Amino acid sequence: MASDGARKQFWKRSNSKVPGSIQHVYGAQHPPFDPLLHGTLLKAAPKVPTTPVKAKRGSTFQEFESNTSDAWDAGEDDDELLAMAAESLNSEVVMETAHRVLRDHSQRREQHQLQEPPGPGREQHQLQEPLSPGPEPTPATEPSPVASGDLRLVKSVSESHTPGPAECASGPAPLHRSQSLPHAASAALGGPPDPGTLSSSALSEREAFRLDKFKQLLAGPNTDLEELRRLSWSGVPKPVRPITWKLLSGYLPANAERRAATLQRKREEYFAFVEHYYDSRNDEGHQDTYRQIHIDIPRMSPEALTLQPAVTEIFERILFIWAIRHPASGYVQGINDLVTPFFVVFVCEHVEEEDVDIADVSRVPADVLRNVEADTYWCTSRLLDGIQDNYTFAQPGIQLKVRMLEELVSRIDEQVHRHLEQHEVRYLQFAFRWMNNLLMREVPLRCTMRLWDTYQSEPEGFSRFHLYVCAAFLVRWRKEILEERDFQELLLLLQNLPTAHWGDEEISLLLAEAYRLKFAFADAPNHYKK
């Protein structure tokens, strides 16, 4: 009797009203509120005085059930499904009914599309559909196959797409729960995407977005150099690289109105140097310098560019004028390599070839080449001013950086450091060229230009940050280094590292690792000292 009384009390409504109470719906996700289990909550609720109302007769469970509609808004076709779900069904009956419902939905959709007047949205959708060859595109779905062991029917959340009769007739297809996507988006998502096309399109969109940001920044009357450095750290788009490098190197002023006058003045100044000094290249005091420059230029890369007579003459003038005007260091082998990136970047504006390495410079007008030559000289001078101790007598700057590299590698990867020591490989034997040529002989020219985007964005990038790039570059070949067990093989590996296939992705990873090392060690130099 106690259990009967509890059951009767459970299914009767309480006459007292509770503020904030919710009318529970039969068939919802959660069961009805049980006052026996949650009586303490009802007692704790504050009572609000209300006007007395006439007490209602308590309703039974049968009345409650008959007066309550199902939580799903069942349509005409869903009634059939719900009715059949109450019987003992097999998978064939379920699939037949499901196919009939889908066919009905498809016919209604086709009729609706025929009656729909043409408009801009409609035309856009019709243009998008042929992009995906093959069957009609479908939006991204969550498959819910009706297996023989689990006969659950899934109601569609959205009727944005339903298979046509041809799809249904092809065989028993699983029911899907469609996502609520716009019609145009559903068409665009249709068909299996090509990974290569998707990645290239996403890459081109990202490059276009970055190019727009650079153009907006450079179009202002006064360029924010700090913001330009921040954007350039991750790479400078090719169309704006010449003007960006001129600004970052300090060759051009940030004020746009002063740039034209500055270019004219600096170009005239450079050719005044040429007129004054270049004829002395055959004098007894300067002929050794000029002869060494003349020997080194054909050894430069890319040969297809540097061996062109016009380019050879330009490089000879630039290097000779710089050596005469900087007697503390004069010309040193390695300086010649540092001219190439500036020249290639500045001349790429005036050649049609995509690959500037093989461009025919003789087609560029003479006055344009004169401007490129002057701009290259001044930007190279700005670069060398920051690392001139690398090229003074005994090259103390390079020797100091090589020792710092050795100490840094011994802290970040002691196993590689001990392996080199065990086989008597000295850092000066392979890292001297890394510092002297700023890794230009170790990576392709396209990678050098990407490196210099970041170097010019970093404070003291060509001197201090380059040290961490070299450390990251050495540790990058950790596996290959540890596999070599001979001095000669180790040295051959470190002087001929396989980087011919490298591109922006490898350089970006290298720079990210270098930045991590700089963040850990730059402000605490004692951390990389034993």
CA 7 → CA 43, 52, 482, distances in Å?
20, 28, 78
The pLDDT assigned to 202 comes to: 59
The pLDDT assigned to 5 comes to: 52
Q: Rounded to an integer, what distance in angstroms lies between the CA atom of residue 385 and that of residue 3?
A: 96
**Omega before residue 242 within 30° of 0, cis:** no
Amino acid at 182: P
**Cβ-contact 465, 520 below 8 angstroms:** no
Q: Rounded to an integer, what distance in angstroms lies between the CA atom of residue 297 and that of residue 308?
A: 11
The pLDDT assigned to 486 comes to: 93
* Token pair of 147 as six digits: 């297996």
Residues 6+ away with beta carbon under 8 Å from 523: none
Find the angle CA(484)-CA(488)-CA(491) to the nearest 5 degrees.
Answer: 80
- The architecture of the domain spanning 396-522 is Orthogonal Bundle (1.10)
**Cβ-contact 256, 223 below 8 angstroms:** yes
Type and span of the H or E element at 178: strand 175-178
CA 149 → CA 98, 177, 407, 413, 428, distances in Å?
17, 19, 67, 57, 72
The residue assigned the tokens 């498959």 is 143
Q: What does pLDDT average to in each consecutive run of 10 residues of the chain (530 residues)?
A: 50 50 47 48 47 51 59 49 52 72 77 58 42 40 40 38 42 40 37 47 80 95 96 95 97 96 97 95 91 93 88 96 94 94 94 78 93 98 94 94 95 95 96 96 95 95 96 97 95 95 96 94 67
Quote the longest CA-to-CA distance of the chain: 126
The domains of the chain are located at 256-385, 396-522
Find the angle CA(394)-CA(399)-CA(402) to the nearest 5 degrees.
Answer: 160
The pLDDT assigned to 352 comes to: 80
**Cβ-contact 463, 386 below 8 angstroms:** yes
The pLDDT assigned to 106 comes to: 77
Amino acid at 343: F
The pLDDT assigned to 100 comes to: 80
Strands (E) located in 113-152? 141-144
The pLDDT assigned to 257 comes to: 95
> What's the number of CA atoms in the CB half-sphere (13 Å) around residue 197?
5
Q: Rounded to an integer, what distance in angstroms lies between the CA atom of residue 75 and that of residue 64?
A: 22
φ, ψ of residue 141 in degrees (nearest 5): -130, 165
The residue assigned the tokens 């490089």 is 315
CA 352 → CA 137, 156, 340, 343, 370, distances in Å?
41, 56, 19, 16, 18
CB crowding 18-41: b at 16 or more within 10 Å, else e: eeeeeeeeeeeeeeeeeeeeeeee
* Token pair of 7 as six digits: 């059951």
User: Based on the number of CB atoms within 10 Å of its own CB, is 520 exposed (0-12), middle (13-18) or buried (19 or more)?
Assistant: middle
The pLDDT assigned to 417 comes to: 97
Q: Rounded to an integer, what distance in angstroms lies between the CA atom of residue 280 and that of residue 320?
A: 10
Q: Rounded to an integer, what distance in angstroms lies between the CA atom of residue 435 and that of residue 395?
A: 11
Amino acid at 152: R
* Token pair of 473 as six digits: 């570059």
The pLDDT assigned to 528 comes to: 55
Q: Rounded to an integer, what distance in angstroms lies between the CA atom of residue 281 and that of residue 293?
A: 11
Q: Rounded to an integer, what distance in angstroms lies between the CA atom of residue 373 and that of residue 395?
A: 27
The pLDDT assigned to 91 comes to: 64
Going 161 to 162 to 166 to 167, the CA torsion angle's sign is positive
Amino acid at 497: L
Rg (CA), the chain: 38
The pLDDT assigned to 522 comes to: 79
Q: Rounded to an integer, what distance in angstroms lies between the CA atom of residue 408 and that of residue 467?
A: 9
Distance of CA 69 to the CA centre of its chain: 52
The pLDDT assigned to 525 comes to: 63
CB crowding 198-212: b at 16 or more within 10 Å, else e: eeeeeeeeeeeebee
CA 255 → CA 214, 358, 379, 385, 453, distances in Å?
16, 35, 18, 23, 21
Crossing angle, helix 445-455 and helix 241-248, to 10 degrees?
40
The residues with which 255 forms a beta bridge, in sequence order, are: 222
Nearest to 340 by CA among 497, 218, 500, 451: 451
Strands (E) located in 323-433? none
The pLDDT assigned to 68 comes to: 56
Residues 6+ away with beta carbon under 8 Å from 21: none
CA 139 → CA 145, 161, 191, 198, 326, distances in Å?
17, 8, 9, 17, 68
**Cβ-contact 234, 508 below 8 angstroms:** yes
